[in-house]
């Protein structure tokens, strides 16, 4: 039986990445819950476009779902709150933020033509490079570091003393291999699936930013679906989030071993030194984003004792 509705899900994750696992889980859930009436076809490795292109294609109706993370700060300044260093303590904290504040984020997405069907994650980010181990921010001095296309990550690494270079994820391996850049920062799942451990000498465990990922649709195109289809898409997003969090937690242990086995030298960075160096980024966000300080305060208030 052919599906009644066929939808395309594009993302930038490589085979074996958390993004791939998330998109595939979502597709399987939708097929099952809709009794085969809705088919979600997944396309990874930037096949349907890089993050910014996917955002455009959603609006044009050429793609039905994307899985952006850091790039959401370019959609609306409010999403930049997740770019603040060390603001999200752990996944339980993220869930509390989601429960208490999702309406704010959804409104911002809707106002820009998008709808957040649900949350997944990119994860806790760490720094790899070929110059030296990074223990404190001063160790980043002069290091050419790839960042995603988000202004806050660039500002953050400028404050830390690095030379941040925004670049699409699909271009990073070659840029590292050829020495165009010295390093990059990503969660283990992205580092290992993209095989950065093959072209990097040092991994410094900084955990400087936790990036949620968003199962994102076009508001207009989603509104055109039946209530029955919308319910399936929403239910599966919730189930997928739980799957993603569990998978991510397991991968954090497994993939660190994979990276170490490739011969990468690993060190635990001095997080307190990074936190101390992060005050100017919080100040800038509070000054530049409308309601920025209130957003920061609201997120931090939900940290609890975790």
What does the radius of gyration of the chain's CA atoms come to, in whole angstroms? 19
- 248, HSE (Cβ side, Cα atoms, 13 Å): 24
Q: How sure is the predictor about 11, in pLDDT bands with cuts at 50, 70 and 90?
A: very high
Cβ burial, residue 239 (10 Å; 0-12/13-18/19+): middle
Q: How sure is the predictor about 220, in pLDDT bands with cuts at 50, 70 and 90?
A: very high
Say if residue 306's pLDDT is above 50: no
| pLDDT for 305 | 58
| pLDDT for 230 | 97
| pLDDT for 55 | 98
* Domains of the chain: residue spans and CATH: 5-122+211-252 (3.40.190.170), 126-208+257-301 (3.40.190.170)
Say if residue 192's pLDDT is above 80: yes
Question: What are the tens digits of pLDDT across the range 72-123?
Answer: 999 999 999 999 999 999 999 999 999 999 999 999 999 999 999 999 999 9
Say if residue 1's pLDDT is above 80: no
| pLDDT for 7 | 98
């Amino acid at each position: 039986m052919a599906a009644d509705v066929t939808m395309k899900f594009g993302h930038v994750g490589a085979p074996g990445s958390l993004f791939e696992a998330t998109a595939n889980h979502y597709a399987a859930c939708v097929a099952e819950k809709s009794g085969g009436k809705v088919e979600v076809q997944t396309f990874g490795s930037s096949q349907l476009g890089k993050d910014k292109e996917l955002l455009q294609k959603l609006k044009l109706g050429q793609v039905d779902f994307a899985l952006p993370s850091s790039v959401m700060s370019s959609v609306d300044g409010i999403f930049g709150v997740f770019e603040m260093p060390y603001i999200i303590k752990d996944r339980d904290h993220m869930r509390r933020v989601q429960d208490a504040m999702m309406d704010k984020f959804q409104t911002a997405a809707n106002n820009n033509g998008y709808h957040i069907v649900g949350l997944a994650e990119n994860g806790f980010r760490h720094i790899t490079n070929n110059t030296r181990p990074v223990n404190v921010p001063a160790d980043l001095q002069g290091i050419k570091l790839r960042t995603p296309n988000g202004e806050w990550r660039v500002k953050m690494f400028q404050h830390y003393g690095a030379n941040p270079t925004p670049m699409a994820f699909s271009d990073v391996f070659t840029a590292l291999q050829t020495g165009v850049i010295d390093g990059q920062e990503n969660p283990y799942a992205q580092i290992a699936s993209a095989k950065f451990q093959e072209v990097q000498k040092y991994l410094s465990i900084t955990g400087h930013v936790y990036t949620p990922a968003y199962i994102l649709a076009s508001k207009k195109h989603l509104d055109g679906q039946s209530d029955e289809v919308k319910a399936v898409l929403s239910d599966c997003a919730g189930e997928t989030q739980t799957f993603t969090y569990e998978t991510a937690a397991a991968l954090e242990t497994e993939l660190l071993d994979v990276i170490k086995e490739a011969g990468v030298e690993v060190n635990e960075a001095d997080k307190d030194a990074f936190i101390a160096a992060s005050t100017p980024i919080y100040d800038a966000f509070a000054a530049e984003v409308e309601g920025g300080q209130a957003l920061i305060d609201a997120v931090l208030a939900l940290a609890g004792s975790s």
